[in-house]
Amino acid sequence: MLPKMIMQWFAAVCTVLMLSVSAAPAEERPFDEHATEVIYNSLQTESNKSFLKHFYKQLLFLPAWMHEKGPSSAAKGFFAAMKEDFTLDPRSRLYNDARDFEVQAQMLYENGSTFLQKMEMEFKITMLYKAYTDYAYFGSINWGAFQARIVNLKVNGVSTEWVLHRPNVDPIGMVEKALLGADLKKELQDAVPTAYHYRALQRALRHYMAIEVEGGWTPVKLNARKLNPGKRDPGVYSLRERLRVTGEYLTCSESSEDDRYDSCLVEAVKRFQIRHGLKADGVVGPATLRKLNIPVSRWITTIRLNLDRIKWLNPRQPHHHIIINIPFFTLYFEEDGKLVTSIRVITGKPNHPTPIFSDEVEMIVLNPYWNVPKSIIQKEMIPKLLRNPYALKREAIQIYSGWGKDAKVVDPASVNWAQYRYSKYVPYRFAQLPGYKNALGKIKFLFPNKFSVYMHDTPTKRLFLRNKRAFSHGCVRLQEPKKLLETFASFEPIDMEKADRILKGKKNVYMKLKEKVPVDIIYLTAWVDYDGHLQFRDDVYHYDEMQLQSYKRW
């Protein structure tokens, strides 16, 4: 059933409809002409923000769904699109309203119904259309509530942001085209996003929904706290079946299908571990067991949430494209949508999150200076200077009197640093000199933005050995910056031999790119990789948790 508020609105509209019908002349009038008059009169008291008023105004108050002899081709196309949308939960109100309204609309023409009843159904289908297009193209995340939670994080000292790109979809325009002869079902299906492997993730959702219909999977229970390769355990039977359901287990000649944890099953566990961002050692310990026993319904929710996130990402699909997926701690470099290379990255700590936004790489810097952000100066460096005014010397950080070219080096002992510990303005520039100790390493990739976030090298290479790599103050550290430089050199006039000579020294060199390369920093905890495999990762910034608190149920 439609929500109570909408039903109350229908009751009010029905009153206007009855008045409009009773005021009609006795002689028979053309259906569309009469419908247009009734629709126009019925919506006069509606707010200008009303979807119904906006919908019918754009359609010149013509009926979209109910025609003289039966439901319109647009109505048939709309219901067909909903029936073919496998993402709709059969238990949802949206799915059941679509099923009921299609039957009711057809019956109105078979049972000699009144003009008033047809007009009531016209409005009901329009509101159903709004609900469905909101679901299909704008999703279930309450972005207003989420942004409020982001603001609350900022109040508590966690500086972050998620920049949204409203989906470029015109649901009313689709109906307008349908009234002129277009196929509304095709219009609706063609409007489904394609960027960021959206449709592949949709297919993964379909697979997991089918698993749920079949009853999901039986929890894996082991006698041992940790299952090592070659060991025997009664839980091996349930482990094998669990991985068979989601496709990681492939039967091989080495398997005897008994209670021994054989090499065939070990490889299946490794595939599962890789797809969940775990250490792929083939050992079923507490972390792996915990992931194995998460019910299918939870994974379905995670997939749906990430589909809805993709709808609000920058939909561009350029020739060259950099995608950085924070929960995956990976940079992907695409050419015409195909993977060229991937690089491990370090992203911001949970209390210094890397923001979600889009920009373009414009410049590459060899042997960069690191201009220390004000937040780090106040939180980390001034406390050191208060203890020892020359504490930053060992880190090759110099302090300048300002940001201009003529700024002079300042003796840190000559400044009363206590006055700047909590001030809004710090009049000094802290800069770390180029070199192997520099926090930015030897290469920096600039995409100027208000967050002062960029991609760069780092001297702390050991951190890349970890699976979870949220260690920075917000910038994106690269495990292989030279690999990325070489990727740019494949289409930019960059002399790698000359670049290598520069990198051996400390000379600061800027290289402006001829082709600006789009970079999108995204946050997907479920994603289909370039080999077509569904991957899941942990919710490192707790954004899944925050968005699900006000997730819309259809």
Query: Looking at the annotation, which residues are catalytic?
Result: 456, 475
What is the Cα–Cα distance from 7 to 350, expressed in whole angstroms? Answer: 45
Q: How long, in residues, is the chain? A: 554
Q: Pseudo-torsion of CA 376, 382, 383, 384, nearest 10°?
A: 100
End-to-end distance of the chain based on CA atoms, in angstroms? 11
Report the alpha-carbon distance of residue 104 to residue 432 in Å, rounded.
Answer: 72
Eight-class DSSP state of 515: E
Using the structure block, give the residue that is written with the tokens 């195909």. 338
* 15-34: b (≥16 Cβ within 10 Å) or e: ebbeebeeeeeeeeeeeeeb
Residue type, 460: T
Q: Which phi and psi (to 5°) does residue 397 adopt?
A: -100, 125
Closest-CA residue to 237 (of 265, 270, 268, 273):
265
Q: Are 66 and 122 in contact (CB under 8 A)?
A: yes
Whether the CB-CB separation of 77 and 148 falls below 8 Å is answered with no
Please say whether the beta carbons of 162 and 145 come within 8 A: no
